[in-house]
Amino acid sequence: MPIYIYKHPETGEIFEDIRSFKDIDKPFISPDGIKCERVFAIKGLGVINKNAECFQKDADWVKRVKPKYVKFRDGHRESYDPNKHF
């Protein structure tokens, strides 16, 4: 079942609710009794920095994978160095 994200209209608090597809249009009621609207977000991606290189976005994953080369946004590539590319 998917996780849907709802935002409280007064406080801005974010709630997550696991629901089936058939319940997608049912309103979410917060603990204080206010009806919350559904917002669209991709869970787990966090803030995306479009100016960062690919190896900078998830440095821990790149260190675990240990690639031979890293590719930069401008197209050139270099041999991977864990001390330099983080």
Domain extents in the chain: 3-39, 47-86
Q: Cα(39)–Cα(6) distance, rounded to whole angstroms?
A: 6
- Quickly state the pLDDT bin for 67 (edges 50, 70, 90): confident
CA distances to 47, 51, 70, 82 from 63, rounded to whole Å, are 21, 20, 11, 7
Determine the 3-state secondary structure of 17 from DSSP.
Answer: strand
Highest mean pLDDT among 24-28, 31-35, 41-45, 57-61: 31-35
AA identity, residue 78: E
- pTM, whole model, 2 decimals? 0.46
Calculate the average pLDDT of the chain: 80
> Cα angle vertex 83, ends 82, 85, to 5°?
60
